[in-house]
């Protein structure tokens, strides 16, 4: 397999994939290209200041006390002035819904832990924990190929 990258600041950006047949790799490339909107940061608020937070630094986005918050890799919470469904459309494809009120960065998930009532919690690298709904767990199992 070859990889060729041509950088030209005057050209319109495009991605061309030449493959013998469709595969998981071509599907992943297509999803990545279609999900990319040229943004890799989001404006968030901390107490009295606005900052730009990189998507890769976000562990989880959740609704807490009726406010949408982003939890970063240091377990710091920032307010976001968008609704969860709006964020779901603009976030990269590595963000997955884990329940009705939370989106998780799958790259920042440390492990899944079963709890006493038969449910499943997700534990992030920063230590934050949230539950995984049964409805969302089937998609998570498919993505992580859990049996």
Model confidence over 83-141: pLDDT tens digits? 999 998 888 889 999 999 999 999 999 999 988 888 899 999 999 999 999 889 888 88
Identify the CA nearest to 39 among candidates 58, 24, 26.
58
Task: Tell me whether residue 117 is in a domain.
Answer: yes
pLDDT at 147: 53
Task: Tell me whether residue 119 is in a domain.
Answer: yes
pTM attached to this predicted model: 0.70
Task: Tell me whether residue 8 is in a domain.
Answer: no
Task: Tell me whether residue 130 is in a domain.
Answer: yes
**What CATH code is carried by the domain that includes residue 110?**
2.40.50.1020
Q: How many domains does the chain have?
A: 1
Mean pLDDT of 28-35: 77
Task: Tell me whether residue 80 is in a domain.
Answer: yes
Interatomic CA distance for residues 146 and 132, integer angstroms: 14
Domain of residue 61, residue span: 41-144
40-71, pLDDT tens digit by residue?
889 999 888 899 999 999 999 999 999 999 99
């Amino acid at each position: 397999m070859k990889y060729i990258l041509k950088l030209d600041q005057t050209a319109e950006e495009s991605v061309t994939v030449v493959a013998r047949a469709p595969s998981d790799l071509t599907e992943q490339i297509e999803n990545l290209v279609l999900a990319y909107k040229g943004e890799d940061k989001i404006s968030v608020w901390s107490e009295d200041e606005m900052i730009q937070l990189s998507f890769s630094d976000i562990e989880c986005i959740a609704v807490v006390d009726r406010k949408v918050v982003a939890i970063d890799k240091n377990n710091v919470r920032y307010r976001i002035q968008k609704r969860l469904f709006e964020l779901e459309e603009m976030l990269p494809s590595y963000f997955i819904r884990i329940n009705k009120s939370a989106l998780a960065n799958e790259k920042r998930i440390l492990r899944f832990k079963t709890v006493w009532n038969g449910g499943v919690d997700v534990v992030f690298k920063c230590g934050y924990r949230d539950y995984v709904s049964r409805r969302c767990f089937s998609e998570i199992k498919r993505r992580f190929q859990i049996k």
